Amino acid sequence: MDLLAPDIRQFQRLDRLPVPRYWEAALHYSLSNIFHFLPSEDQKLLANFRAYMGELGPHDGSDYFNPKIPTGAHVHHPISVTLLTLNNAERSDTLLRLSAIMVCAALDPANSVGNSRKKLTKFAERIRGIIVDPNSPIKLRLAEARSIPQLAQIMELDLAHSEIGIRDDFGRLWTSWLGDVINRWMRDDAANLRLGLESTFLLPALDAPVLPVLAGDLIDSDDATEISSYIVDETPADVEEPSARARYSRAKIGLMIRTSDGDLLANPSQELPDSMIVRITAGSINTAESALRRKSLYEAEQFVALAVMIATGIREIELSDLVWEDKGSE
């Protein structure tokens, strides 16, 4: 018996019904992809999903067969069918984040019975609608969200406009059930709420010599176009206004001076004391080792990544390119 193989009974927790055996590998693959997509703050927020993946263990990366879904299977297995459909869909951040919320809601005991289960089925139906419609308004409206708290913030602001409001299907689902579910999760840990609403970009100081202009959803902010930033000093009221050419020349000289002053993109208030860096690194290593002793690879991964980034200076986007040396090669 393979001790790393997931218990097949775990999959029936999604729809409260057993699933066909030939769905198991594809469901495991879909769940792993969704969970790995989530940033760390969302993984902490979705506590039920995180615990569930810890029980399932990581997908072994082997090939899987995505089964043909029988007609009408969504009636009794709305969550499982949505996950299987997602395997063949064009991925998007919005789609993966909504699917993660769906899985966590399915595992939440509060949604196991009554009207909540009907709302969850409706939510799964809406996600399948996004899968078949690449231009779905929901997908476009939530495209700027980088975390679940940001998604919730966008929805609340969106629904505040009377021209959208209660007439929108997803808006009705949000106001009647989904918004309360997510808010309950966020209230359980205020720190996760704060982290989720923080900007994911390092914002430059306004007096920086160059300012990045992001165009669309760039994977790497280094790919953004940069423009020079000229600062024009205000002319006192009792002094004659200089010509436009003179003001431009002064601003250009000021730009050259600011450029020679070093890296102004890193605001001093964002620099951590050495003692705090040491404490964070040690805490990350200790937490990772503790998780590994429990064989919880999902929990250990983020802390190992943080320690490696601090030690080497590499960026998060470069972590996937690391090659770990095999002890057998020594």
Q: Could you give the C-alpha distances from 79 to 168, 184, 323, in angstroms and in order?
A: 22, 21, 36
pLDDT confidence of residue 162: 56
Q: Check if the beta carbon of residue 178 is closer than 8 Å to that of residue 123.
A: yes
pLDDT confidence of residue 293: 86
pLDDT confidence of residue 292: 87
Q: Check if the beta carbon of residue 181 is closer than 8 Å to that of residue 105.
A: yes
Question: Which residue's structure tokens are 């699917």?
Answer: 99
pLDDT confidence of residue 268: 53
Rounded to whole angstroms, the Cα distance separating 113 from 119 reads: 10
Q: What angle separates helix 148-159 from helix 190-197, to the nearest 10 degrees?
A: 80
The contacts of residue 100 (CB under 8 Å, 6+ apart) are 34, 35, 37, 38, 42, 46, 49, 148
Q: Which residues pair with 287 in a beta bridge?
A: none
Report, as ranges of residue numbers, the positions in the chain whose pLDDT lies below 70.
1-9, 60-64, 162-167, 189-210, 212-224, 258-272, 323-330
pLDDT confidence of residue 1: 36
For 112-164, what is each residue's pLDDT tens digit? 777 888 999 999 999 999 998 878 888 888 888 889 988 998 898 888 775 55
For 254-272, what is each residue's pLDDT tens digit? 777 766 655 544 555 556 6
Residue ranges of alpha helices (H) inside the chain are 24-37, 40-45, 47-56, 78-86, 93-107, 114-132, 137-141, 148-159, 169-173, 179-187, 190-197, 244-260, 274-293, 297-312
pLDDT confidence of residue 206: 61
Residue 161 DSSP code: S
Specify the length of the chain in residues.
Answer: 330
pLDDT confidence of residue 218: 47
Q: Could you give the C-alpha distances from 57 to 71, 76, 257, 264, 323, in angstroms and in order?
A: 30, 26, 55, 44, 22
User: What residues does each domain of the chain span?
Assistant: 8-197, 210-265, 270-329
149: helix, strand or coil: helix
pLDDT confidence of residue 219: 47
